């Protein structure tokens, strides 16, 4: 058998292609081995960490902003985000993207729990950022105290919960919260001051969910799409309520991807 290999530079992102296999003895295609795939572009060209390689022409810009046919959408890189409050000692479940936040720094949903018609959203990443501030901890004893209460312990407890994405009341993704790093925010750090001994030294620490690098995020490669006017949510669950040393704090969930909407 022989596979026919096409020059990848000749492929166009978004187009469908057939991969065929030929019988070397007869030169005929083996139909049962034919596969159809949609070429999504080179990995180096995938969203989102790509620099501009060339300045587009006016015609190319017009094609992206002017519909060729009635109702044709435009596609733009977009992030939906929402912050909800984890109430210390009480919360066991949080739902995200279910409200339109009046404070634009807390969320940017345009409709509660759904996308307005005719918007579609192609998901590439889901990230979770735990907004635990730096804290100072006074040692309770000269011996090691484990776990040492503080930011690191708070974040460790919170990201041990579960996360799921539902669209039209159907679950499309489940994982641990810690498997969805935010890709932004400070990394874990700690400083100790004072003389070692009971009640005579302090530990100041800070932690967030994952390394602050945009590449450090769970990726769906656009395989999940949220259609307009369909209910969707990201839900987090914990087995039991967690008492945080920092008290009640915010958790941010963000979804990166491509938003397809009517051309303005």
The pLDDT value given to residue 163: 97
The pLDDT value given to residue 43: 43
| CA distance linking residue 253 with residue 84, whole number of Å | 8
* Residue 224 pLDDT exceeds 50: yes
pLDDT digits (tens, 9 = 90+) for 160-218: 999 999 999 999 999 999 888 887 765 666 666 666 555 566 666 667 677 666 666 67
Mean of per-residue pLDDT scores for the chain: 78
**Average pLDDT over every residue of 99-124:** 95
Residue scoring higher pLDDT (31 or 234): 234
Dihedral sign from CA coordinates of 127, 132, 134, 138: negative
pLDDT digits (tens, 9 = 90+) for 1-30: 444 445 556 666 656 666 666 666 676 776
Band (45; pLDDT cuts 50, 70, 90): very low
The pLDDT value given to residue 223: 84
* Residue 137 pLDDT exceeds 70: no
Contact 82, 97 (CB under 8 A): yes
Among 77-81, 118-122, 138-142, 244-248, the minimum mean pLDDT is found in 138-142
Band (123; pLDDT cuts 50, 70, 90): very high
pLDDT digits (tens, 9 = 90+) for 139-163: 555 555 555 677 888 888 999 999 9
**Average pLDDT over every residue of 212-227:** 76
Q: SS in 3 state form for 23-48?
A: CCCCCCECHHHCEEEECCCCHHHCCC
User: pTM of the entire structure?
Assistant: 0.70
% the chain with pLDDT above 70: 59
Name the β-bridge partners of 218: 126
| CA distance linking residue 234 with residue 232, whole number of Å | 7
């Amino acid at each position: 058998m022989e596979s026919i290999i096409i020059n990848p530079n000749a492929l166009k992102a978004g187009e469908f292609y057939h991969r065929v296999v030929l019988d070397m003895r007869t030169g005929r295609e083996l139909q049962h081995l034919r596969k159809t795939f949609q070429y999504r572009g080179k990995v180096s060209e995938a969203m989102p960490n790509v620099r501009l390689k060339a300045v587009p022409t006016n015609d190319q810009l017009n094609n992206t902003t002017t519909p060729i046919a009635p109702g044709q959408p435009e596609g733009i890189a977009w992030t939906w985000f929402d912050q909800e409050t984890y109430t210390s000692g009480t919360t066991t479940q949080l739902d995200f993207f279910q409200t339109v936040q009046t404070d634009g720094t807390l969320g940017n949903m345009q409709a509660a729990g759904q996308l307005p018609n005719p918007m579609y959203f192609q998901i590439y990443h889901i990230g979770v950022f735990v907004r635990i501030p730096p804290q100072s901890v006074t040692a309770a004893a000269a011996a090691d105290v484990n776990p040492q209460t503080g930011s690191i312990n708070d974040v460790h407890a919170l990201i041990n919960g579960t996360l799921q994405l539902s669209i039209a009341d159907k679950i499309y993704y489940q994982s641990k919260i810690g498997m969805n790093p935010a890709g932004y925010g400070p990394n874990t750090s700690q400083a100790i001051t004072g003389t070692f001994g009971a009640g005579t030294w302090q530990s100041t620490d800070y932690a967030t969910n994952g390394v602050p690098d945009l590449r450090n995020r769970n990726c769906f490669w656009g395989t999940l799409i949220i259609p307009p006017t369909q209910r969707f949510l990201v839900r987090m669950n914990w087995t039991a309520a967690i008492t945080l040393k920092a008290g009640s704090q915010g958790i941010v969930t963000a979804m990166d991807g491509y938003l397809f909407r009517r051309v303005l």
